[in-house]
Structure formats: C-alpha cells, structure tokens
C-alpha cells in the first residue's frame, strides 16, 4: 500500500480527552490507516517530534454563508486549526430566497452580522432559490476546509410568508406546515439542522427586527418536527440574553425539543445590563439536560469584544462632522490630517453622534475602552482603561482615545469587551468552561468584518486557558475543540484520531501557540475591507489527508468540501 502522508513521532491527542501517546500516523486516500509505529515511508512526511498532533477543530458557530459563495478560503477560521465549520447560525442566511426578497435578506445580514451590503450584492451569485439548490452551489467549489450548513429560519419564513414575515405576523397553520416540509426536505438534502433568533439585538441597520423574533411555539415546533421527519438535525437558537423575564422563552425551547426529540444549542454570554442572568440560564440548561432533553449552551472562552480604529468600521469619532468628511480617504492621508493640531482640536470639539451610524457606540463609557496594544492584550485591567489613563495623565478620555488610534501609523486599536467582562477579568468564562455541558464556540467567523475578529477563539483556548492559566489540560481543551463539537453536530467521521476516520489534523507547536496582531485586508468583493488575525504555532493543518497550511502559509491545496448530513 502506498502511504500518502506520515506524521512522525508527535504527541498525539486523539480528541476524546484521553492522555497523549507518542505515535506515527499514516494516511491513505484522506483516511487514517495506522497509528503507532509506521514502517512505510510516506509520499510526504511531517516531523512532529516535540509537537502535539490533534484532530482538526470543528467550529459550530460561523457565518460564512456569503464568503463560501465568493471564496475558496474560509479565513480567518482556517488559520486557527479549524478544518470543519458550521454556518447558517442565528437564523440569518441567503436560502431559500425568491428574487424579490434578496435585498431584504442582504439588509438583515448586514444589520445582524455586519457584512457590508455592497460586498454581498457583488459577491453573491444568487444561482439558487431553494435551500437544496444553495447546497448544490456550495458543493461546486473546493475549499481549504469543510463546510456544513444549517437552514436559517429568517429566509425560510420570508420565503413562505412574504411581507407578513417582515411585519412579524404570526404564522398560520398552512405556513407552519409548509415550513415543516421545507425543513424536512433541506435536512434530507444535507442540512445539519435549523437556526433561529429571538433577540431584539438582531435587526437591520434601519432598526427592523429579524422576522423570526416573535415566532410562536407552534411555529418552532413545526421546524423541529420537520427535522424529526427527516430523522436528524439540531436546533440552534439565539435568545434574549439581557431580560430577566426571559425564562419563559427557554421553557418554550425546552418543550419544543422535548416534543420533537431533537437536540438544541443556544448562545450564552454575560451582559453588562444583567450580569448574573447567564448563571440562571446555565442552571436551566443543566436541569433540562438532567431531565433528558439535550439543550447545551455555546460559550466563548474570552470576552466578545469590538475593535475600534481608523481602519475598522467604527471608532469613537466616526460620527463627528470633520472625521465623517475624511473617512473615505486612504489611511495614510487620514493620519496626516488627524495629526494636524487644528484638525485634532476640531474633531475633539464636535458631537460624535451627529453623523453616527452606530448609536450603540455612544453608550459605551471610556471606562470600558482599552488600548489593545501589540501584542494584543485581551485581559486588560480596569486601571488600564482609556478613562483611567486620562485621569492619571491629566488629559481627557477622548484625547487618549484619539492618540491610541494614531499609534502604529494609524493601525492602533481600542478594545471594547462587551460581554463576559463585567468583573474586569475572565472569571465568568472560566466558570462557563468548567461546566461540561457547555460547548466552546461563538467565534462568529465570517461575520462582523469591520469591528470584531474573534474567529481565533480555538487558539485562545490553547494559548490562555492551557498555557497561560493551566486551567484546562491539553487533552480536555482538544476534546472541547474536536469530538465534543463534532458529536454535537452528528459528524461521526471526524473529531477524533482513529483508524478509519477522516484525516483532518493539526500539528501544533504548543509552546508557540498565539496570535499575530489584528490587521485590515482589502480582499472582500468590491475591494472592501475586513479585520483579520492569524494564528501562530500551527505547523501544519491537514484536511482529508492533504496539507492546506504550513506555518500559516497557504499551500494551495483545496480538499475541503460541502458536508451533507446523513452522508
């Protein structure tokens, strides 16, 4: 037998949480064929001595619904050890869709996930109407990693109900029956489940709420029973996370899952407005699981945070009259003008809300803004806030923020952790991760391209919670990133290193694992920009037995494919 690839002498973590073993791994035709001592020479070999070898990471919460159409690379996730990504979360996406509803779905995705509308109008081919046709389009493009898709509730509801869905009207029985049948067909065609949103934080830029916000229990039950009819599928939900009266919503979700026999996951984070509600919801999930209904929280390993800067889509002065007039200029020209004392004084004197397209920013106090710095500091102390620096130095907070953004030739970023950081540390994240019912995720790869870049959460789990804090063992962290997420999605052919399974693997120098600095690339359709951040320490990422990245450098291999459930 000809061996395609041999990984030699690595510290192998099989993804189950078991201790490491030093072993060779042989791969033939994209499948693991030997683990132990491999005598045969491979057509290609990787020396993994002193390195860890892991299954490829499975990220169950991404938004590559558009990027998967216009690109064969699902970066930045593929730079952080992810070899399988699940997209279509939060109830938003682009299929099914009638031609007359395209603008509505683009506007919703722009508002919910901060992907600019011109990018989507340019990049989306719209060679589909049904969800099944959308999967066929995705299947035509080989990629750097594998891709799975959920059926998003918002486009499904608009497809069935038209304007009534956009007006948040309740679905009638015929609507529900139609949606149920369409879900069943989509899952049979390869969808991994359904996603929906029931939070007022999901809206278009004009303030119109997501069409799924007020969907009633019988409609959600219809979606779930469509999956039951198809014999598989998971329900992914984003619920209101800042309302103490939200317990009734979770009771509805539990009852829907119980009646349909399906599994469910929901996003869980601490909010500043109700900083203790997350603990109640985590306890609710524990009780529900103990009662035999699988409803698991998906949690982040650090604060979800915005990056504000001249190259991002937002900064504290973006709404001032003077800055708004120069925002279209190249970065270097912006910096030249902003260093002029007269321009500086003018911007600092103006109302930051006059031309603001992001009113939420005005409610963020400077006590919650921090200099990100280089290397990036994601665990800032309260005494490091923009407000605290200003007080110590006898300046105003806006003056400090202004100067931070001008650092590094205008590439300085202000970090705003807006969840999981009420206490000024990551103790909340530690408590969430300590619960084995939680799932590691919420990196949102592909979304929030102008002011959030958290797709490197897998790298953070290893760099911070394993290396820096010693809170998680290597084997447990790898389990969280591989078999735990793969099993939850029903991906039985990956997430573990075992003979006969798919050869999706990472070779990692754990001592070096970390991040490069965030930066802006102009690589979206129409030359639009997005924030990116590379992982460090990934010596090789392997998808279906082929090396796709070496030390973060693209090899050009595109073995990734659309994965269809049940195949």
Give start-end residues of each CATH 2.30.40.10 domain in the chain.
Answer: 3-55+502-554
Task: Note the pLDDT of residue 245.
Answer: 66
Where does the pLDDT of residue 57 fall: very low under 50, low under 70, confident under 90, or very high at 90 and above? very high
Which class for 206: exposed (0-12), middle (13-18), buried (19 or more C-beta within 10 A)?
exposed
Give dist(CA 250, CA 258) in Å, integer. 12
Give dist(CA 197, CA 154) in Å, integer. 8
Task: Note the pLDDT of residue 204.
Answer: 84
Q: What are phi and psi of 508, to 5 degrees?
A: -125, 135
Contacts (Cβ under 8 Å, ≥6 apart) of 343: 322, 337
Query: What is the per-residue pLDDT across 457-499, written as a single tens digit (0 to 9) for each?
Result: 999 999 999 999 999 999 999 999 999 999 999 999 999 999 9
> Which CATH architecture describes the domain 3-55+502-554?
Roll (2.30)
CA distances from 404 to 173, 310, 457 (A): 56, 10, 25
Strands (E), 361-423: 370-371, 414-417
Tell me the angle at which helices 331-338 and 341-349 cross, rounded to the nearest 10 degrees: 90
Residue 505 bridge partners (DSSP): 55, 542
In three-state form (DSSP H/G/I as H, E/B as E, the rest C), the secondary structure along 134-171 is HHHHHHCCCECCEEEECEEHHHHHHHHHCHHHHCCCCC
Helix (H, G, I), strand (E, B) or coil at 197: strand
Which class for 104: exposed (0-12), middle (13-18), buried (19 or more C-beta within 10 A)?
buried
The secondary structure element, H or E, covering residue 76 is: none
Residue 86 bridge partners (DSSP): 148
Task: Note the pLDDT of residue 418.
Answer: 92
Q: What are phi and psi of 467, to 5 degrees?
A: -75, -55
65: left (phi over 0), alpha (psi -120 to 50) or beta: alpha
Query: What is the per-residue pLDDT across 433-447, written as a single tens digit (0 to 9) for each?
Result: 999 999 999 999 999
Query: In residues, how long is the chain?
Result: 567
Expressed in angstroms, the distance from the first to the final Cα of the chain is 27
Residues 263, 294: contact at Cβ < 8 Å? yes
**Portion of the chain with pLDDT greater than 70, in percent:** 99
Strand 263-267 to strand 234-239: parallel, antiparallel, or no bridges (unpaired)? Answer: parallel
Residues 24, 3: contact at Cβ < 8 Å? no
3-state helix, strand, coil in the chain (%, to 5): 35, 20, 40
Tell me the angle at which helices 427-434 and 277-290 cross, rounded to the nearest 10 degrees: 0
Longest Cα–Cα distance in the chain = 74
Q: Stretch 256-280: mean pLDDT, rounded?
A: 95
Give start-end residues of each CATH 3.20.20.140 domain in the chain.
Answer: 58-304+421-471
Which class for 396: exposed (0-12), middle (13-18), buried (19 or more C-beta within 10 A)?
middle
499: tokens are 């003979």
Residue with tokens 């900064």: 315
Give dist(CA 531, CA 306) in Å, integer. 11
Which class for 100: exposed (0-12), middle (13-18), buried (19 or more C-beta within 10 A)?
exposed
Query: What is the per-residue pLDDT across 206-257, written as a single tens digit (0 to 9) for each?
Result: 889 999 999 999 999 999 999 999 999 999 999 876 565 677 889 999 999 9
Q: Which CATH number fits domain 58-304+421-471: 3.10.310.30, 3.40.50.720, 3.20.20.140, 1.10.240.10?
A: 3.20.20.140
Helix (H, G, I), strand (E, B) or coil at 86: strand
Residue 359 or 309, more confident = 309
Residues 562, 74: contact at Cβ < 8 Å? no
Where does the pLDDT of residue 353 fall: very low under 50, low under 70, confident under 90, or very high at 90 and above? confident
Residues 168, 204: contact at Cβ < 8 Å? no
Q: What are phi and psi of 203, to 5 degrees?
A: -155, 165
**Least reliable range by pLDDT among 149-153, 242-246, 502-506:** 242-246
182: tokens are 């369409």
Helix (H, G, I), strand (E, B) or coil at 310: coil
Helix (H, G, I), strand (E, B) or coil at 263: strand
What's the distance, CA 256 to chain centroid?
26
Q: Stretch 518-529: mean pLDDT, rounded?
A: 94
Give dist(CA 172, CA 465) in Å, integer. 48
Where does the pLDDT of residue 98 fall: very low under 50, low under 70, confident under 90, or very high at 90 and above? very high
User: What mean pLDDT, rounded, does the chain reach?
Assistant: 96
Residue 267 bridge partners (DSSP): 298
Give dist(CA 152, CA 218) in Å, integer. 17
Q: What is the DSSP letter of 384?
A: G
Query: What is the per-residue pLDDT across 533-544, written as a single tens digit (0 to 9) for each?
Result: 999 999 999 999
Where does the pLDDT of residue 1 fall: very low under 50, low under 70, confident under 90, or very high at 90 and above? low
191: tokens are 């969808």
């Amino acid at each position: 037998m000809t061996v395609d690839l041999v990984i030699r002498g690595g510290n192998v973590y099989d993804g189950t949480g078991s201790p490491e073993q030093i072993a060779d791994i042989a791969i033939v035709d994209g499948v693991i064929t030997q683990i132990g001592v491999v005598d045969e020479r491979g057509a290609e070999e990787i020396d993994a001595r002193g390195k860890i070898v892991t299954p490829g990471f499975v990220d169950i919460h991404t938004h590559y619904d558009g990027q998967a159409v216009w690109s064969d690379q699902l970066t930045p996730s593929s730079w952080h050890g992810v070899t399988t990504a699940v997209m279509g979360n939060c109830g938003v996406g682009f299929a099914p869709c009638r031609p007359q509803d395209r603008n509505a779905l683009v506007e919703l995705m722009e508002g919910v996930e901060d992907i600019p509308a011109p990018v989507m109008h340019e990049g989306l081919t719209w060679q589909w109407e049904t969800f099944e046709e959308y999967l066929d389009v995705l299947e035509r493009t080989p990629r750097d990693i594998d891709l799975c898709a959920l059926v998003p509730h918002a486009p499904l509801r608009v497809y069935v109900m038209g304007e009534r869905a956009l007006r948040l009207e309740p679905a009638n029985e015929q609507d529900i029956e139609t949606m149920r049948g369409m879900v069943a067909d989509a899952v049979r065609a390869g969808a991994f489940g359904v996603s929906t949103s029931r939070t007022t934080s999901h809206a278009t830029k004009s303030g119109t709420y997501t069409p799924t916000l007020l969907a009633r229990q019988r409609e959600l039950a219809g979606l779930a029973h469509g999956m039951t009819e198809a014999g598989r599928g998971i329900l992914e939900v984003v619920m209101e996370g800042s309302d103490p009266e939200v317990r009734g919503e979770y009771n509805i979700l539990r009852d829907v899952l119980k009646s349909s026999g399906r599994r469910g996951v929901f996003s869980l984070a601490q909010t500043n407005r109700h900083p203790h509600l997350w603990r109640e919801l985590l306890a609710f999930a524990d009780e529900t699981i103990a009662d035999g209904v699988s409803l698991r929280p998906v949690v982040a390993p650090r604060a979800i945070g915005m990056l504000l800067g001249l190259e991002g889509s937002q900064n504290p002065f973006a709404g001032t009259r003077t800055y708004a007039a120069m925002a279209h200029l190249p970065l270097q020209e912006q910096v030249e003008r902003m260093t002029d004392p007269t321009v500086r004084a003018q911007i600092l004197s103006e109302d930051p809300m006059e031309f603001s397209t992001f009113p939420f920013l005005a409610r963020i106090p400077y006590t919650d803004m921090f200099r990100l710095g280089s290397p990036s500091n994601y665990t800032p102390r309260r005494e490091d806030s923009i407000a605290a620096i200003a007080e110590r130095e006898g300046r105003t907070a806006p003056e400090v923020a202004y100067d931070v953004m001008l650092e590094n030739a205008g590439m300085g970023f202000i970090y705003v952790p807006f969840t999981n950081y009420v206490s000024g540390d990551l103790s909340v994240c530690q408590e969430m991760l300590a619960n084995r019912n939680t799932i590691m995720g919420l990196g949102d790869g592909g979304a929030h391209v102008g002011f959030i870049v958290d797709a490197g959460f897998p790298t953070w789990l290893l760099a911070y919670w394993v290396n820096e804090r010693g809170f998680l063992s290597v084997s447990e962290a790898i389990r969280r990133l591989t078999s735990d997420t793969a099993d939850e999605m029903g991906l039985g052919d990956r997430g573990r290193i075992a003979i006969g399974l798919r050869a999706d693997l990472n070779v990692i120098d754990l001592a070096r694992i970390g991040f490069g600095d965030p930066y802006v690339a102009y690589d979206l359709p129409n030359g639009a920009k997005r924030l990116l951040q590379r992982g460090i320490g990934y010596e090789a990422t392997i998808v279906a037995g082929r090396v796709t990245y070496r030390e973060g450098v693209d090899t050009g291999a595109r073995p990734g494919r659309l994965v269809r459930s049940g195949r």
